[in-house]
Structure formats: C-alpha cells, structure tokens
Structure 1
Amino acid sequence: MAARRWRPRGSGFWPVLLMRQPYGRAIASTVTYAHPAWYAAQGYQVVVVDVRGRGESGGQFRGFAQEASDGADCVRWARHLDHANGRVGTYGFSYQGLTQVLSDGSVPQDFPDALAPAHCGLDERCHWASEGGAHWWALGLGWALQLAAQGCARRSDGEGWLEIRRSLETGTFLQEGVNLLERHDPLGMGLTWLGREPAISEGWTCHQVPLELLRRPMLLIGGWYDPHLRGVLDLWRRSQAAGGDPWLRIGAWSHLNWRGGLDALQLAFFDRHLKASEVSMSPPGPLPPPLLLERLGDGAWRSPDPAAPSADAWWLRSQGLAAVRVDEGQLIPGVSTEGPADGAGACTLTLVHDPWRPLPGRGGHLGLDAGPVDRADLDARSDVACFSTPPLAEPLELFGQPELCIDVAADQASYDLCGALSVVAADGTGVRQWSTGVLRCRNNLSGLPQPRSLLFQPVLLALRPGERLRLSLGASSWPQIGVNSGDPDVAPGPVTHRHRVITLQFRLPGARLRLRSLASEGLD
C-alpha cells in the first residue's frame, strides 16, 4: 500500500501517528485537521496510507470489509519504521475514524497504543446509511458518488468522472444518483446499502471490535450536527463496558465544520499516551475532564452525567388547528405519565402530505447544509404541525435524546414522521432549529392509530427566559430522506407520478415529548 511520511527535523526516535484513508494521502484529512507537517513539528512521525484499492495502493477497494486485516498489518509495520520509538497512535474522522477500530489483530502489538476516532460508528445500517428506518438520501448518494468518481479517476474514465461531478454540482444527483451508481460503481458500499432494507438488521454488518482495542486510550470526537454521532456514543459506551476510560468530546460541529479544529486537544491526548519515556510513568500535563460537551444555545462546555437526562417532559395539546396556526399547538410541561389533568385539547389533529410540494428538510445532522438554521418559514406551512411551550420564566437546560411518543393513523400503507425541535426567540422574530429526527412507518394496513416513537438527534441545549421550546411535525424531509410514496410498490426517493397524497391523524391524548439517557443502548 502507498503511504507518505512526515518526520520531525533532526535525529531521534519518535512515536508514529497513523491515518488510513480512501481519498488520496496528499489530502490527509486537512478539511478538518492540521496538516501532518504540523504534527511532525510537535515531535511525531506522521504516516498517511492510501487504503487498499484507493489512491496509489494496489488491489480492489472493498470498503469497510477490507480494513480489519489491513489495519493490524499497518500498525505492526508502523511500529518498526526507522526512527520510530515503537509506539503508534491513530487518528482520523469518518472512514478514517472507523479504520482505527477495525482490526483482526490477536496480540497487543497489533493494536494502536492510543486512538482518536471521530465521526464514525460500527453499525453500517444505523451509523452510516439510515435513520429511523429511512435511508440517508442526499448524504448517502453524495458520499457514494464521491467514491464512485474516485474509482472513475483511478480507471482513467474521465467521462464518468465528469458525469458524476456535474450531477453533484447541479443537484441532479438527487434524481439520477442511483442510476449513476449502477453504471459507475455497481459493487460499491453506497449502492449496496441503498438496496438493503433499513428497517431491519438482517443483511447488514455491525462490525466487532476486539476488547483489547476498546480498552486502549481513546479520544472520541462527535458533533451535534454530524450524522455519525450515535455511532460515536455507541463506541463510547462499548469502551466503558470493556473496561476502558475513553475521553469524549461533542461540540456544535457538523461533519466537516469543526469551527477551529481539535488539534491542540488531540496533541495533548497523544502526548499523554505516546511520549512518556516508560509506560508506567505518569504522562505529562494536567488531566482534562474525560467528558466535555458543548452546550447549544450559549456555547458553554459542560460535563453532565450521560446517564441522567433532563427530567423535563411535555404533553401535546391542540384544538385541531396546530397545522394551520403556528401559535395554536401547545407543549404542556408535566412529568406525570397520566397527561394533563384537565383533559383539554383531547382531539385528533389531521395533517395532509402533498408529494407535489414535499416539506423540505433543512440543516440539522442529515442536511447537506448541516447545522442550526432558522425554520420560521417551514413552520408557517400548513403541512407542519407546531406545538410550543409558554415563554420560559427561568433558564432551562435540556440534555439527552428527545423522543416523541404518539399514536398515528394514516390512509396509506406507508408514511414518514419528520420532527424538529427549535427555540422560538423571546421577541418571536426567529425560530432556531437545534435537533431533528425521522421515522419511516410501514405496514399501516389497518388504517387504525398505532403507537409510534420518533427519536431525535441527541442534544445539550440552553434556553433563556422568554424563549419557547417548539416541536414541529411534518411528513417529509426532502432530500434528507427520500419522499415516501405511500405505496409499498414504489420505493421512497424523488417524487414520481405514482406518489400518493397521504393524510395523517395524530391522536393527541397521551402524546408526550421526553428525553432519554445517552448512556443506554438503543439510541437508534
């Protein structure tokens, strides 16, 4: 396999930082990290490897399936580089994050001495390809086509590369992306995932990590606006269960925008675990908190207990006009499991999804425009039901994974629930969206109300006095997920003439919004 190495000036023996990636080693993930030359100047050898079948490395690219065997080989090789001190750390995000934890090694020397995976997860279904039983549409196609274009370049297929590039630049990949993949990368991971049923685990791969590796020093990096956050939290939980003591950092970051980067933290982490002259020595520098999360809304860094989510909960109330008047639906505070005592607003709310004008998805963790956005114009649509709290009398902190439990009936066999949690400004001029969630509901053959659980992206959020929390509900989030046709014989995706109008009925008695623990299994 092809690799490029950066070394400190002068003579000596230094730890090695290893990155394995499929995008060409010259890039070296500088879209999010400092250049390897910077790490070399801090006293590290840095090696960036083209994974098998990518860049200038030989072989056929098979995606994640190849990385366990190649990973152990690369770590052993890096330990014995000239001028290496025998210690190896790994770093990288996304694909480069997962390559760090995939290993078929059997002895301690096969595993890195410290690793810093960012924005990745082990479950290809839940952490790479889908959410709530719906494929990531724009993200999934965009990434798959990027890999396909690189395959075209490797084969000197300039026409194929240009066709894919134009489709991505013009946005037509949202309609023609599947056909492009069938022509240019028919065996690739992206098309394979799109061909699998995302509502069930059968047929999908969930990678296993050796316990020894999970116990190694680990810096886990996630973002509130990154689609792989649940994968990072899963790795954190697995490491703790294996007896490890991982560091966890979650910031107001998207997949590519880290707002200044984490290189100083990463350097301190590797200095601590790779530069002590003996393993038994205390590493240099003060010990930072193992867990730090950036609070949305005010940017404060906090260390909350992941096993202790906010106890706040709200009941949904409306007289039936929450999809017509943005100020009519209410979120009624109450931690009781019996609902509002007065029973007011106990009704059914009707919402109509018109595929000719599907509700757009915007921002959040699944958007190509990932991040916080204003959604006041979306909430003003008549196919969006809004429920808001009264203006807050005092500050409020929300922490955990929001979950909406609600009974829903529909007149078609399949439909989607798409939710957003936002903060309405005290003066009412803005609606800042902080978290979103999607759920694809199938086999709705009876037309009777069925209990549904809609999970949102986890949050740590601060609200100020005068602000209001708002829940918005719709039936599409295009192009973040494909538009549901309502017809079991028509796959979700871009709208066609066969897409049906879908009428939803939300039963509000018992409908409840709450927050779940981030330390528990089943975040997906």
Structure 2
Amino acid sequence: MRQPYGRAIASTVTYAHPRWYASQGYAVAVQDVRGRGDSTGEFRGFAQEADDGAVALAWVRTLPYVNGRVGSYGFSYQGLSQLLLSPGSPLPDALAPAMAGLDERLHWASEGGAHWWALGLGWALQLAAETVRRAGDETAWRRLRLSLEGGTFLRDGLALLEQHDPGGMGLGWLRLDPANPIGWRRHEPPEGLLCQPMLLVGGWHDPHLSGVLDLRARAHAAGGAPWLRIGAWSHLNWAGGLDRLQLAFFDRHLRDREGLETHPREAVADLGSGSWRGLADGGGEGPRWALRSQGLAAIDAGEGRLLAGGEGGGVVWLVHDPWRPAPGRGGHLGLDAGLVARTDLDARADVACFTSVPLIGPLQLAGRPELELELSCDQDGFDLCGALSVIRQGTAWQLSTGVLRSLGPHCRRRQRRRLSLQPLVTTLAAGEQLRLSLAVSAWPQIAVNPGSGDCPLGPVGPGHRVITLELQLADACLRLLPLDSRAD
C-alpha cells in the first residue's frame, strides 16, 4: 500500500491492521508516497505515482523473505496509486483497488459540470496541512485545522489553499473547468494490468463509485474478469469491511490456496433490504416514470406525481433564493455521507417533489437513475439538483442524488436536459413510495450558482441572483439506465 497520510495509519479506517494480514502469513509494506510522512521529495499528487510505484513494486520483489508474488490494496488515493505504473514495468500479481477511478475530472473532482465543493475543498486542505506540517509552519497548520473543524473552510478554504499550497493538486482541480475535459488528467493503466486478478470495491454512498464501475467496464473490455463488491457504504464507513474476502482473494492468487471459490465473483448490497445480491439479475434498463403536476409540486410536497406507465403533464416554477439556498444532505457528496432522512427538505417551497402511489408489491431498482425533461431559466446559469428517496412510514429516506450545472446564455432557452444520479440497487416494499425531489442548489456539496454565467467557487455573495426554473413535465421521464452507464 502506498498512501499520503502517514504510513502508521495504514488505512485502518476501512481495513484491518496490517499486522492482521501479517498474522495470516503475509509480508505487508505500507509506504509514505513521495513528499508525505517520512518520505523525502516534493508531493505532486497522482502525477508522481507511476514512476514511484514501479520502483516500489520492483523493490518488494527483492525482499528475501517473500515468494516473489506481490499484491496491492488500498482505497481512495491508495486505490489509484496501485493502478499507476510506468510503461513496461512488471505488474502486480493481484490487486484490490477500492473507491478510485482513472479520470481526475469525473472520478475525483466534479459531477454534472460542478466541482465537488465541500469534499474537494476539504480534501485539498487536508493535503495542504501535511505540506505545511512538513515545512514546520505550525501557525499555518492550525489555521487550516481550525478552518476545517469550524466549517469556515467552505468560505475561506480557497484563499487558504492559494496562500499555503498554491501548487497543490486540489487547488489545481478547482482552477479547471469541470465541464470541459481540456487540461484534466485521465490516467491510462499499463497494458495488461486490467487483465490481472483484481478485486474492485465501491460504495453506494461514495463519490468515486463511477470510477469503480468504469474500471469494471474497462477490465471486461480488455478481457479481464474482475471481482466486484459494492456495499451500502460511504467513503469512510464500510460497516465491518471485507478483509475476509480480501484475504481469500490474495490467498488464491498469491499463495494458490483454495477458499475463494465459496464467494460469488460479483455482489452488491441492497440499500433497502441490506442483503447482498448479484448484478446479473438487475443490470439492465429498468422501469420508467412520468412526472405530473398542476403547478403546485414545490409549494405542496404531496401534489406532484411520479407515474409508472402513466402520462405526465403540467408546468412547475422553481425559485431559488440565494439568501437561503436549498441545502444538500448525505448521499455520496455530503460530509455527512450516507442514507439520511430528508422529509424536512422536501417541505421547503424551493424543492419540487414528485411521489408515486403506494406500491402494491415489492419493487427492485438497479441502475443509474436519469431524469430527462425540458426546462428554461431566467438567468445565464442554473443548477438542477435531484434526489431519489423512498417514503417509509411517513419519512423520506434519501437513496441517491445528482447534480447538473449549466452556464451561459443558452440557459434562457427552453431545452431538453438530462440529470444523472448516483447508481443504486434497492428494494422497495409494498406500501412504500418512490419520490423524486428537485432543487436549484445543494449547498455546500456544490458551490451556489450565481446565475451570471460564471463558474461558481464558493458560497453566496452579493452578486448572486434569484433564479427561476420553468420545468415542462409533458415529456419528462425518470428512468433507470444500466449500472455501468456513463454519467457524462
């Protein structure tokens, strides 16, 4: 494992301690990457990992007490670092990348044309804190830490990065256009790596899930046969983890031991029942719903309808007041990531809700929710923020969220647009209802759109405008696309 947070931590927030793996007969090496922890040099983020990773892999194979086979594991930064090797370098014999992706724009920094604000800024400041700590600047470290602890980083974090880590990877991402791939790095694994034995790990409430699904699709296209687990997990809460499976995976591919065959190759957790299931029985395109309202779906949370097989219609006006932007909560982009109740958010007059009738029997949903509808705006920029929830015993529990950012004069024209949400697998029980909620902001998960056409980088300011969306429901459609469909 190669990580940037101090090797003694060893990703024990999600994995068993390395000593546990050592007790099972493994030599475990956890390294500080260049410029982090006790390693010398300057930290340059992912750009440095291909060359350094190849050197590390070659070194491990020379240790006198190993059998010559090498496996790699780790999540987040540690997930991508094991996928980056210089061309022609030897490959690991097995790898288990978790919660990572190859595209820095789509899998690490943005969604729907909007920067991850709270997540991206918070992580950039965490990396900056290690930079100033290594430089011996205790005052700067305390400023960064207090900003994160007190939540003021949402307003002053950008200035702190420009002052204390102007060359950092996180600030570099925030300076790029999230709607344009130009300037963004998209990593390419070395030839053959995606055909190696691989265990992919993701979470329904993790922001890197699209990256994991992209890796799965790439591996299959290359002729590989990756293992897959997607839990009802957030980035840091794996609810017991999967160390036993990971041990069996490495035992099979590094030590020729039996036991892995008792586990299914692919399994995902059902957000509704909590049970694990395969992908083959729920990977295709699922049901569709129409949207209908008499124009009161925002003022009355129970008025808008989500119709399975019915005909939609109506117009809804959705007004965003920048003085009190609709908040984002939970999901995969929240600092409070996970399954959350949002009944109070749906009761706001700047949130339009469309709810199905109570189900007469169980309903299984598996895929990437996508909303397609015509809308127009009275300003030169808007955000459309969606949430899919299940209403269970009177409470709306949020299952999936997504954002779409549009900037420019074209926003004023009535156009058909698509909003992609986080993939999910869930089962709704008889009597429960499905709800789609729409708002024009999700602060602080994404920065508040000023309506001027400029790319927002922060909270509300005096120049932010009131934004009114006009939603045309006649041909609006909510559907489920296959899990591995691309959100962009």
* Equivalent residue for 1:440, pick from 393, 396, 405: 405
Q: Residues 412 and 445 of structure 1 are in contact (CA less than 8 Å); yes or no, is this contact kept in structure 2? A: no
* Equivalent residue for 1:209, pick from 185, 189, 200: 189
How far did residue 309 of structure 1 move? 2.6
Aligned to 1:6: none
Matched residues in 1 for 2:64 and 2:195: separation? 28
How far did residue 441 of structure 1 move? 1.1
Q: Describe how 1:79-158 pairs up with structure 2 within 5 A.
A: 79-107=61-89, 110-158=90-138
**CA RMSD, 1 decimal:** 1.3
Aligned to 1:451: 416
Q: 1:331 to 1:284 in 2, by over 3 A?
A: closer
Moved more, 245-254 or 202-211: 202-211
State whether structure 2 residue 294 is matched by structure 1 residue 319.
yes
Q: Cα deviations across residues 2-51 of structure 1 (Å, max 9, x unaligned)? A: xxxxxxxxxxxxxxxxx000111111111111111111000000000111
Aligned-partner SS, 2:369: strand
Aligned-partner SS, 1:471: strand
How far did residue 456 of structure 1 move? 0.3
- The one-letter amino acid paired with 1:312 is P
Aligned to 1:39: 21
Aligned to 2:317: 350
Matched residues in 2 for 1:476 and 1:116: separation? 36
Q: Residues 310 and 398 of structure 1 are in contact (CA less than 8 Å); yes or no, is this contact kept in structure 2? A: no
Q: Cα deviations across residues 133-189 of structure 1 (Å, max 9, x unaligned)? A: 000000001000000000011001100000000000000000000000001100001
State whether structure 2 residue 399 is matched by structure 1 residue 419.
no
Aligned to 1:508: 473
State whether structure 2 residue 213 is matched by structure 1 residue 233.
yes
Aligned to 2:231: 251
Moved more, 23-32 or 473-482: 23-32
State whether structure 2 residue 154 is matched by structure 1 residue 174.
yes
Aligned-partner SS, 2:192: helix
Aligned-partner SS, 2:223: coil
- The one-letter amino acid paired with 2:284 is P
Normalised by the size of structure 2, how large is the TM-score? 0.98
How far did residue 307 of structure 1 move? 7.9
How far did residue 304 of structure 1 move? 2.3
State whether structure 2 residue 468 is matched by structure 1 residue 523.
no
State whether structure 2 residue 368 is matched by structure 1 residue 401.
yes
Matched residues in 2 for 1:382 and 1:486: separation? 19
Q: 1:472 to 1:112 in 2, by over 3 A?
A: same
Q: 1:446 to 1:42 in 2, by over 3 A?
A: closer
Aligned to 1:391: 358
Q: Residues 275 and 283 of structure 1 are in contact (CA less than 8 Å); yes or no, is this contact kept in structure 2? A: no
Matched residues in 1 for 2:411 and 2:421: separation? 27
State whether structure 2 residue 18 is matched by structure 1 residue 28.
no
Aligned to 2:40: 58
- The one-letter amino acid paired with 1:181 is L
How far did residue 284 of structure 1 move? 4.7
- The one-letter amino acid paired with 2:77 is Y
Matched residues in 2 for 1:452 and 1:216: separation? 39
- The one-letter amino acid paired with 2:452 is D
Q: Residues 273 and 283 of structure 1 are in contact (CA less than 8 Å); yes or no, is this contact kept in structure 2? A: no
Which stretches of structure 1, 4 residues or more, deviate above 3 A after TM superposition? 282-285
- The one-letter amino acid paired with 1:393 is I
Q: Residues 72 and 105 of structure 1 are in contact (CA less than 8 Å); yes or no, is this contact kept in structure 2? A: no
Matched residues in 1 for 2:260 and 2:98: separation? 23
Matched residues in 2 for 1:149 and 1:244: separation? 39
Q: Cα deviations across residues 474-520 of structure 1 (Å, max 9, x unaligned)? A: 00000000000001246342000000000000000100000111234
Structure 1 gap segments, 5+ residues each: 1-18, 277-281
- The one-letter amino acid paired with 1:224 is W
Aligned-partner SS, 1:240: helix
How far did residue 288 of structure 1 move? 2.0
Q: 1:129 to 1:143 in 2, by over 3 A?
A: same
- The one-letter amino acid paired with 1:40 is A
Q: 1:211 to 1:63 in 2, by over 3 A?
A: same
* Equivalent residue for 2:202, pick from 222, 234, 246: 222
Aligned-partner SS, 1:182: helix
- The one-letter amino acid paired with 1:121 is G
Matched residues in 1 for 2:440 and 2:61: separation? 53
Structure 2 gap segments, 5+ residues each: none
Matched residues in 1 for 2:484 and 2:213: separation? 8
How far did residue 200 of structure 1 move? 1.1
Aligned to 1:48: 30
State whether structure 2 residue 336 is matched by structure 1 residue 359.
no
Report how many residues are paired: 488
Q: Residues 390 and 432 of structure 2 are in contact (CA less than 8 Å); yes or no, is this contact kept in structure 1? A: yes
Q: Cα deviations across residues 305-358 of structure 1 (Å, max 9, x unaligned)? A: 288335210000000000011110001112xxxx72xxxx63221010000000
